Amino acid sequence: MRENMLAYGFLAPSLLLFAVFLFYPMFKSVYLSLHSTDPTGQIAAYVGLDNFKAVFQSGLFLQGMKVTLLFVLFTVPTGMLAALILAALTHNRFKGMRIFQFVFSLPVVLSVGSSAVIWKFLFHPTLGMLNYLLGKVGIDPIPWLTSPDWALISISIMTIWMNLGFNYIILSSGLQGIPDEIYESAKIDGAGPLLTFRKISMPLLSPTLFFVTVVSIIGAFQSFGQINILTRGGPMDSTNVFVYSIYQEAFVNFRFGTGSAQALILFAVIMLLTLIQFKWVERKVHYQ
């Protein structure tokens, strides 16, 4: 009995935090999704599932998911591939390699707001460094954030850079965890670097890759800060991802019912994708 009370005492702070910051907002979202609100955001009437019907009938869901899926497609595979290449290149313990490891890990210490401000200067159409460098090689300036064709790509480039530090640290740690004896055995058998990486590193790194994939996809679906600072969903809704659409609906238009319905739909989509990954993709993971 005393041990149980002690265990509940240790769990109490965590349960309190979960209750305040996770369970209460979730139950509140379910409650709001079933009600309409007046222009001041106050509850006006019970409407049942009408908010969910309005989301699907207005095209908000399809448009938001289309942009969000494109954003996930642009950022997740490219970001993971870049981090994997850098982790493999810096896996060898050459002199001075610590400097490169520090540089590649650096983006992880920057907040989304700071990163977005840095990239806003880089993307500037006339004063930005990117267009200046393109001009040096004879390429016309690119309207990074003002063109519907380039805005989502620009946000994706910034997001890949922003996530590079976290992905690099995780994948580099995964490579460091592979025993050196396995590499030495492969070297004795005459395996080259590429064959060793494909036949030994990749299978043993698959649990780490699976973790990074799941976390990256969830993070991409929840991206908001960089979009709010750089483009505010524009131009012409080309960067209006689902989370930014929720923000506009709830905190700009004060339609908390529709915004909550969108949030619950997004929660269901992310949960479904995560379950699919654990059901199908995890079969490819090689655990030691």
- Per-residue pLDDT of the chain (288 residues), as tens digits, is 778 888 889 999 999 999 998 899 999 999 999 998 887 778 888 998 999 999 888 877 788 889 999 999 999 999 999 999 999 888 877 777 788 888 888 888 888 999 999 999 999 988 889 999 999 998 999 999 999 999 999 999 999 999 999 999 999 999 888 888 888 888 888 888 888 888 888 888 899 999 999 999 999 999 999 999 999 988 888 999 989 999 998 888 888 999 999 999 999 999 999 999 888 877 777 766
Q: Which helix (H) or strand (E) holds 254?
A: none
Phi, psi (deg, nearest 5) at residue 198:
-75, -40
Q: What is the model's pLDDT at position 109?
A: 87
Structure tokens, 157: 């480039």
Q: What is the model's pLDDT at position 201?
A: 86
Q: What is the model's pLDDT at position 219?
A: 92
Q: What is the model's pLDDT at position 270?
A: 92
Please answer whether residues 229 and 195 qualify as being in contact, where contact means their C-beta atoms are separated by less than 8 angstroms: no
Q: Is 205 helix (H, G, I), strand (E, B) or coil?
A: helix
Q: What is the model's pLDDT at position 288?
A: 62
Q: What is the model's pLDDT at position 81?
A: 94
Q: What is the model's pLDDT at position 178?
A: 86
CA distances 112 to 54, 60, 167, Å, are: 32, 26, 16
Residue 240 corresponds to which amino acid?
A: N
Q: What is the model's pLDDT at position 230?
A: 92
Q: What is the model's pLDDT at position 181?
A: 86
Distance CA 233, CA 216 (A): 21
Q: What is the model's pLDDT at position 100?
A: 83
Q: What is the model's pLDDT at position 58?
A: 83
Alpha carbons within 13 angstroms on the beta-carbon side of residue 192 total: 2
* Predicted structure pTM score: 0.88
Q: Tell which residue, 261, 195, 232, has the closest CA to residue 29.
A: 261
For residue 146, count CB atoms less than 10 angstroms from its CB and return exposed for 0-12, middle for 13-18, buried for 19 or more.
middle
Q: What is the model's pLDDT at position 96?
A: 74
Residue by residue, DSSP assigns 4-29 as: HHHHHHHHHHHHHHHIIIIIHHHHHH
CA distances 142 to 80, 155, 156, 230, 282, Å, are: 26, 14, 15, 16, 40
Q: What is the model's pLDDT at position 231?
A: 92
Alpha carbons within 13 angstroms on the beta-carbon side of residue 242 total: 29
